[in-house]
Structure 1
């Protein structure tokens, strides 16, 4: 029989619920400022671990059940966040900037993920795309400003953001993504304008 009236159980239950909520919100906290993502884990996770260790030594089954529930919840969440349940990647590319990087992933099911990393955090954009010829057309805005246009061009091992007035790709600093993995069936070597 599990005693649910113990102080360890009640304390672990409260801290466990707060910890799981912080865990689910950790991506948003990291996006805002990476330190914000660590603070809840330090101030809530540390006491929770101490309480669960005490529960192990006192053989408090109710508190241990809370600990097991937390671990199972985190494992299930990680399965849903992982690549296991997502469509296959057909193109992976990176744009390097001053102290930042933008990672673009196109998936087989016509969904994209764009992660903008900078020194203070990151921001993730998700949406739908289509491919026409050598052009990737974002049906959902890929960024919160006009830095990345809604249409980019695949040329050799690059995703080009813009062209000059004569139609040549602009390949200056931070004007293109470098393609790291491309499973799109056709190879394009010249721009189609």
Structure 2
């Protein structure tokens, strides 16, 4: 009887934990299309990469009811390695270590900021133009204040959207170009 209970507990634990593992770097829908992201993303999803692009968009837009992403930008590379005995590492040499880096930036467009306020509280009397720039590691967030005066409706101030950048590496060497995509900041 204790063996059956232990088996049932292990089975239920596995059933509960497996979806959590798939949510990180697992395959969302189609293995070939999702694994093709590793090849197509560094080339900007050029000709012949439409299915990989669609798989990528599916991965980065699939979110929970709380807005958290269910999948990483790319599937874990080991999931994509061919398991055919004719294509093993011993037949093809040492396998490459494929990794990627994902960073994000809050985009701040060109805007004016007040540098000197009227002493009687009448408003700004000296403005400066700030050129567009990015803040690495910051995501643009709407504060819900409803006011866009002096950049107070977003964090960081004046941001318009978040830019995500992904860079693929083979054995630590950058592979192709970094790929950027945008998350539009809706007002």
* Both structures adopt the same fold (TM-score exceeding 0.5): no
* TM-score of the aligned structures, taking structure 1 as reference length: 0.26
Larger relative contact order (Cα-Cα within 8 Å, sequence gap ≥ 6): 2
